[in-house]
Chain A
């Protein structure tokens, strides 16, 4: 079955540091890949997505590239801010009529001034 593996957290960074959160996946077919973010006390919201190999999703300074050869979708940001403190979820949908999102376990990011 489909699965998503994220790096374990929590991750603590100083403001303006470089961020990478690793995500790898297992899926049949050609999945769509997502990063969702959950700010404290809130629901999840889409951060970015990519629907085919070599696509790059980007939003709010975050980027992730869909790498089919390494089955990865790592999240990066060049300079994090305190306001980026949140839990980040990598997810996939395997397409082909699937209604379901499969989530990774989430990575908590704390950015300190």
Chain B
């Protein structure tokens, strides 16, 4: 049973297109995250939702918009894709908040390539 799943696994698209990445977790967690991993493997938090409420919104272009229809899902929509958006995007989840060393569980990643 996959704990955190993402679709699609690979996404190749043209500049200027709009695309979405979906994430679902079946762990019953309250908090979900989106990370971007660049070509040098550097991981940067983008967004976090707790009980469907946005709690972390780092400095990312407003072309990126997260949407959480329920606690188990956190989708990422990207408008007007640019070459620099090419990266691996990871979804993660954790139980409540990371105040006591709670583990984050990561999805397998979505490899986005913008041509």
Q: Which of A69-113 contact B (CB under 8 A)?
A: 87, 89, 93, 95-101, 103, 105-106, 108
CB-CB contacts of A38-67 with B at 8 A, as 1s and 0s? 100011111001110000000000000000
> Contact between A100 and B45 (Cβ–Cβ < 8 Å)?
yes
**A105 contacts B99, C-beta separation under 8 Å:** no
Chain A residue nearest in CB terms to B42:
A105
User: Does the CB pair B43–A99 fall under 8 Å?
Assistant: no
User: Number of residue pairs across A and B with beta carbons under 8 Å?
Assistant: 68
Pair A101/B109 contact, Cβ less than 8 Å: no
**Total B residues in contact with A, Cβ cutoff 8 Å:** 25
B41 near A93 (CB under 8 angstroms)? no
A87 contacts which of B41, B100, B104 (Cβ < 8 Å)?
A: B41
Out of A45, A98, A105, A108, name the residue touching B106 (CB < 8 Å): A45
- Quick one: closest A residue to B98, CB to CB? A93
Whether A44 touches B106, Cβ cut-off 8 Å, given contacts A103-B43, A108-B41, is yes
Contact indicator per residue, chain B 30-55, by CB within 8 Å of chain A (1) or not (0): 01000000001111010010100001
Interface centre among A38, A98, A99, A103 (most CB of B within 10 A): A99
Tell me, rounded to whole Å, the shortest Cβ–Cβ distance linking B6 to chain A.
8
Q: Per a CB cutoff under 8 Å, which of B48, B90, B100, B108 touches A100?
A: B48
Show 10 A/B contacts (Cβ-Cβ < 8 Å), sorted by A. Answer: A32-B100, A38-B41, A42-B108, A45-B105, A46-B105, A89-B43, A99-B48, A99-B56, A101-B104, A103-B42
Known: A44-B104, A103-B42, A105-B41; 7 extra A-B contacts, CB below 8 A, are A32-B98, A38-B41, A93-B98, A95-B99, A99-B98, A100-B48, A101-B45
